[in-house]
Amino acid sequence: MPNPAPSLQDRILKRFRREGPGVVLSPRDLLDLGSGPAVRQALSRAVEAGLIRKVARGLYQVPRRDPELGTLAPTLDAIVEALQKRDGIRLLPSGAHAANILGLSTQVPVRVVFLTDGPTRRIRLGKREIVLRRTTPRQMATAGKISGTVIQALRWMGADHVGDAEIAQLRERLSKADKKVLLADQRQAPAWVASLLRRIALGDGK
């Protein structure tokens, strides 16, 4: 007797496994497996059965568990990737989060801010909050580039709080290719930030 065809829920769970641990998917990522209503219903049933969890509105993940820490929260990177893919938007790290990415701040903000070309909104992620703040095309021109993260980190720190130590730290951290990107995108930054980008990239101390 032939084996029965796998259910939609089984095929959805297989997709999660194929994408790898920690991946966050939305119903839109699964529409090749079934219709929108059927996919949403299968996801809801899988959540009720404890097979997957809903991490935010319209975003799902197979729970990851650590022997000591228990169930792990989804990573911020996984959430950001899922949001960009689902909504067709770009996100640019901003404020303290941008500085933290670059090692310029040890602060891990509970409220993480991203600039976006999509609508302004807030997303609750456990105890953390992700804020998407719509901004200008000029600022979003560096989204997805190291230059964008550096520009936003420097703007958050302020001219009076970026000294030789911070410049040296960024020069050591960034690759030659990264520094070329800084020079190419300096026109997208305020004048005082552009000056710092040249110091980081060229190392002339001025």
CA gap 81, 78 in Å, rounded: 5
pLDDT in tens, 8-22: 999 999 999 999 888
**pLDDT (mean) for 140-158:** 96
Mean pLDDT over the full length of the chain: 91
Give yes or no for residue 180 having a pLDDT over 80.
yes
Confidence of residue 3 (pLDDT cuts 50, 70, 90): low
Task: Examine the pLDDT at 83 and tell me if it is beyond 90.
Answer: yes
Query: Is residue 124's pLDDT more than 50?
Result: yes
What average pLDDT does range 55-65 have in this prediction?
89
Q: Tell me which residue has tokens 């529409």.
A: 31
Better pLDDT: 67 or 132: 132
Taking alpha carbons only, the member of 83, 89, 77 closest to residue 25 is 83
Contacts of 12 (CB under 8 A, 6+ apart): 30, 33, 39, 42, 43, 46
Q: What is the DSSP secondary structure assignment for residue 6, as one 8-state letter? A: P
Distant-in-sequence contacts of 28-37, Cβ < 8 A, 24+ apart: 28/85, 28/86, 29/82, 29/85, 29/86, 33/8, 34/8
Contacts of 195 (CB under 8 A, 6+ apart): none
Residues 113-122: what's their mean pLDDT?
95
Question: What per-residue confidence (pLDDT) applies to 1?
Answer: 47
pLDDT, mean of residues 79-85: 93
Better-predicted residue by pLDDT, 22 or 192: 192
Give me the mean pLDDT over the 60-81 stretch: 87
| C-alpha closest to that of 148 among 107, 112, 189 | 189
What pTM did the predictor assign? 0.86
Rg for the chain (alpha carbons), in Å?
Answer: 21
Structure-model confidence comparison of residues 126 and 181, the more confident one:
181
**Domains identified in the chain and CATH numbers:** 8-70 (1.10.10), 89-202 (no CATH)
